[in-house]
Structure 1
Amino acid sequence: MSLTKSVYNLLFRRTSTFAVTIMVGAVFFERLFDQGGDQIFESMNRGKLWKHIEHKYASQDEE
């Protein structure tokens, strides 16, 4: 009970801190979700994306 009461008093008691907590949480969740989705996409398409096959098609005569 002590932990939940402390979190409530620190983050959710006042409307202003509640709103800031929600906004910061949304930003962190968005970054986590975006990076996780990119990682899943990359792993499912390994060997099919341009950055994985670029070396096969790069010009050899560039000096």
Structure 2
Amino acid sequence: MAASSVYNLLFRRTSTFAVTIMVGAVLFERVFDQGGDAIFEQLNRGKLWKHIKHNYENKDEE
């Protein structure tokens, strides 16, 4: 019964089908991009500038 409800709500009309596809593509792109960034940062932990910049910053001591 749930499949027919989804079909009637999202896929029955061409306009709602197109909007569903566009929204799904945008959401997928965001999740894929953030997931890729998280994996990259995990694999390169301790090597990226934001992780090591405190070693190279000059602290002004007055």
Give per-residue Cα distances to partners, 1:8-62, cap 9 Å, x unaligned: 0000000000000000000000000000000000000000000000000001227
Q: TM-score, normalised by structure 2?
A: 0.95
Q: Any stretches of 5+ residues in structure 2 without a counterpart?
A: none
Query: Equivalents in 2 of 1:33, 1:40: separation in Å?
Result: 11
Runs (4+) of structure 1 moved beyond 4 Å? none
Q: Percentage identity across aligned positions?
A: 77
Inter-partner Cα distance in structure 2 for 1:13 and 1:5: 10
Determine whether 1:33 maps to 2:48: no
Q: Cα RMSD between the aligned structures?
A: 1.2
